[in-house]
Structure 1
Amino acid sequence: MKLSLKQWIQVAISLIVAVWIFWFLYKDISLDSLLKAVSETSFLLIGISVLVSLLGFWLRSWRWALLIDADQSYKTPTSRTFWALMIGYLTNMLVPRAGEFARCGVLAKTDGLQMGKLFGTVILERTVDLLFLVFTIFLAFVIERNLFLELFSELVSLETLVKKVTQYLPLLIGGLLVMAIFFYFAFLKYRERNIFRKLRHFTRDLVKGIISIRQVRNQSGFWGSSFAIWMIYYVTLVLVAWAIPSTANLSLSSLLMVMVMGSIGMVAPVQGGIGTFHALVAFILIAYGLSESDGKIFAVIVHSSQVLTIVVLGLVSLGIVFKITGKKVSKSS
């Protein structure tokens, strides 16, 4: 994927922000305390957590294949979606949000599928994940309601928030209407241009991908795997918590809150959630009574185990995809 100068600048800025947040968090953590915590960590449980996360990656790949194959007789191999998914995760470590395009591009090359449709299925997949994230946040709120309200009141003034929304809502609505009118007339004027024809075709394929959920033949498999993916996220976090002495005694409900905060941290537009993940996970662990040092060390261990897994699998997947595309080129020449 080629990036423009502007995009490279955006990538550089997001990386600088991520590194700065990470440095600010860990500048007072000594290397000795980190090494001591690592030496006390159960690598058996860490290894099991990695294996469980691999199952989660495979389930996500299988669910994606269900969406892709919803309106066609061709069956996309789960192995192909797995390689594409891992390359997408690896790309996100370099360029935030580019992984979704990258994995679609990989599958378009290896299996000759339409890019627009693939991206539509990814949007749908992310929408389903967002619904599960919202449900998880709600569940954490119900279980840990007192802590949730206490933290929210410390971070956000509800009265100020309502006042700001009320103040700027008419301006926001007006701006959106002006933009809608502008794009409508621009479309009417230039709709026969080549770029708009390509855009219409892409949008048509995109809509096909988004509505493909209604055509998924294995509905129970789709929704069951979606639930299992989020359960696997939770189990992975619990195993890492059990592996580290300072977090081994945390309750299951408190670890659910940790997962919620970590998930929100991963949404931030920085490479692999670097910095934001660590900050939010450490913040919630400190609220549960852990020392600042222990909270930050837990965050770096759980994040590093996942990053190393993604890097290794991503590089392996790149090698396999290069081999597949190389064979296709040699056959066609």
Structure 2
Amino acid sequence: MNSTLKKGIQIALSLGVAVWIFWFLYKDIDASNLWNQLQTSNWLWIGGSLVISWIGFWLRGWRWTLLISKEEGIPVDSTRSYHAVMIGYLANLLVPRAGEVARCGILTRTNGVSLGHLLGTVIIERSIDLLFLVGTILLAFLLENQLFLDLSSGLVDLSSLGEKAANNLPLVLGGAVVFFLFFYILFRRFRNHGLINKLQGFFRQIFSGVKSISQMRNPQGFWLTSVAIWVVYFLTMYFVSLAIESTANLTPGEVLLVMVMGSIGMVAPVQGGIGTFHALVAYILIQLGVSETDGKIFAAIIHGTQLVFMLILGLLSWLAMMRIPAWIKPDKV
């Protein structure tokens, strides 16, 4: 099987999974309910969420310029990096994960920055974003720990589990030691295996990415912008929650939890988080007391407005960057 056919099958499968999840979620939702919710929602809040998310896109572009070396090609300004980021989002709507290569390819074409260097900066960005996602999950747990415990107890009886563990403490401790020894030996035995190497490489990338930030020209700006980007994610979700009657009474901590679930849904390897975002956001809203129909409609509104917004901005950015002539490497003197 050639690589083009294999890639096409992967894209078709991811799109098929996304469409199936979306259909399964919304097959019982009456379209009139969605239309009524769209009519009764406060579009000033929704418009505000779009403005906030647009600021977030610009922040992503500016943060990227801090990682790009000025020694290669033409120095990249925040306008071009913003347009490249939006083209990346546009590409992700077509092919999962293609956006990272697409946005790097755009700057290689217009500014002459090497593709390898740009891909390295994207790896650093993704490593930091992963750390912030983990940090946000921990923050949501601290703010809404009782909800986490309630959700867990719905799956496992935590009180009886703790009582059994206390009554069999030596057995539990012994089992834990055997467990860690088993995985330590397994790791040592198969340390040259492809999967183990990938895991090692993954953690090395995160470590080297964090280390390299301290050596850049504006590390404080990078970290502050990274925090601001995740604040933007929260405000985008919070503004939409205020726009819809069924979610207007959610606390900031509960909205943060919804944002975390949505972020996890967007990480899934499907086009634009379609289906996975809706499923996880609707699920957590139902646990927060929102009706199933309202939870699914909320997920559809926030994802739909953001999707259309990114599509429009992505196309405008693509048109803007296509008007810039390709960079031609100057002849050596």
Measured against the shorter chain, the TM-score band is 0.7 to 0.9
Residue 42 of structure 2 corresponds to residue 42 of structure 1: yes
Work out the CA distance in 2 between the residues paired with 1:18 and 1:181: 29
Q: CA deviation at 1:323?
A: 0.9
Aligned counterpart, 1:114: 114
Residue 81 of structure 2 corresponds to which residue in structure 1?
81
Matches of 2:251 and 2:127 in 1, distance apart?
Answer: 30
Aligned to 2:12: 12
- The structure-2 alpha-carbon separation of the partners of 1:12 and 1:157, relative to structure 1 and needing over 3 Å to count, comes to farther
Opposite residue 135 of structure 1, the aligned amino acid is G
In structure 1, distance between residues paired with 2:223 and 2:36 = 42
In 1, Cα distance between equivalents of 2:182 and 2:223: 39
Q: Which residue of 2 aligns with 1:322?
A: 322
Provide Cα deviations, 1:145-175, integer angstroms capped at 9, x if missing partner.
Answer: 011123245458999xx99x77984556544
Q: Separation in 1 of the partners of 2:317 and 2:72?
A: 26
How big is the alpha-carbon RMSD for the aligned residues of Structure 1 and Structure 2? Answer: 3.1
Displacement of 1:246 after TM fit? 0.9
Report deviation, 1:305.
Answer: 1.1
Instruction: Give the letter aligned to residue 147 of structure 2.
Output: L
CA contact (8 A) 1:70 1:213 kept: no
CA separation of 1:62 and 1:301: change in aligned 2, threshold 3 A: same
Equivalence for 1:24: 24
Note if contact 1:46-1:243 (Cα within 8 Å) is conserved in structure 2.
yes
CA contact (8 A) 1:83 1:317 kept: yes
Which position in structure 1 is the counterpart of 2:243? 243
Q: What corresponds to 1:268 in structure 2?
A: 268
Structure 1 residues 62-71 or 249-258, which shifts more? Answer: 62-71
In structure 2, the partner of 1:191 is none
Q: How does 1:274-293 map to 2 (within 5 A)?
A: 274-293=274-293
In the TM superposition, what is the alpha-carbon distance from 1:179 to its structure 2 partner? 3.9
**Separation in 1, partners of 2:116, 2:94:** 23
CA distance in 1, matches of 2:278, 2:195: 39
Shift of residue 318, structure 1, vs aligned partner: 1.1
Answer yes or no: is the 8 Å Cα contact 2:140–2:256 preserved in 1. Answer: yes
Letter of the structure 1 residue corresponding to residue 273 of structure 2: G
CA shift, 1:220, in A, is 1.7
Higher mean C-alpha displacement, 74-83 vs 246-255:
74-83
Equivalences for residues 130-149 of structure 1 within 5 A? 130-149=130-149
Task: Tell me if structure 2 keeps the 8 A contact 1:66–1:216.
Answer: yes
* 1:264 maps to amino acid: I
Query: 1-side partners of 2:130 and 2:298: how far apart?
Result: 25
- 1:104 is matched with which residue? 104
Deviations 1:271-328 (A, max 9, x none): 01100000000000000001100000000000011111110011111111111136x5
Cα 1:76–1:209 change in 2 (3 A) is: farther
**Structure 2 CA distance for partners of 1:325 and 1:8, relative to 1, 3 Å:** farther
The equivalent residue for 1:177 is 192
**1:69 CA displacement:** 3.4
**Alignment length, in residue pairs?**
304
3-state SS in 2 of match to 1:28: coil
Return the letter of the residue paired with 1:218. Answer: N
Which residue identity does 1:177 align to in structure 2? Answer: N
Q: 1:156 to 1:105 in 2, by over 3 A?
A: farther
| Map of 1:195 onto structure 2 | none
In 1, Cα distance between equivalents of 2:45 and 2:82: 24
Whole-Å Cα distance in 2 between the matches of residues 138 and 132 of structure 1? Answer: 10
Alpha-carbon distance in structure 1 between the residues aligned to 2:145 and 2:210: 35
**Residue in 2 aligned with 1:220?**
220
Distance 1:260 1:181, change over 3 A: closer
Give CA deviations for 1:237-292 in whole Å, capped at 9, x if unaligned. 11000011111111111001000100111110000110000000000000000110
Query: What is the CA–CA distance in structure 1 between the aligned matches of 2:6 and 2:156, rounded to whole Å?
Result: 34
Q: Is the 8 A contact 2:258 2:281 kept in 1?
A: yes
Q: Which amino acid aligns with 2:272?
A: G
Is the 2:72–2:112 Cα contact (8 Å) retained in structure 1? Answer: no
SS at match of 1:249: coil
- Structure 1 length-normalised TM: 0.83
> Could you tell me how far 1:71 is from its partner in structure 2?
6.5
- What does residue 202 of structure 1 align with? none
Alignment match, 2:255: 255
For the residues of structure 2 that align with 1:271 and 1:54, how far apart are their CA atoms?
Answer: 20
Q: Aligned equivalents of 1:71 and 1:133: distance in 2?
A: 32
Deviations 1:217-246 (A, max 9, x none): 122211111100000110111100001111
Query: Gaps (5+ residues) in structure 1?
Result: 184-206
**Counterpart secondary structure, 1:215:** coil
SS of the residue 1:310 aligns to: helix
Query: How far has the Cα of 1:45 moved from its partner?
Result: 1.1
Which letter maps to 1:270? V
Amino acid at match of 2:25: L
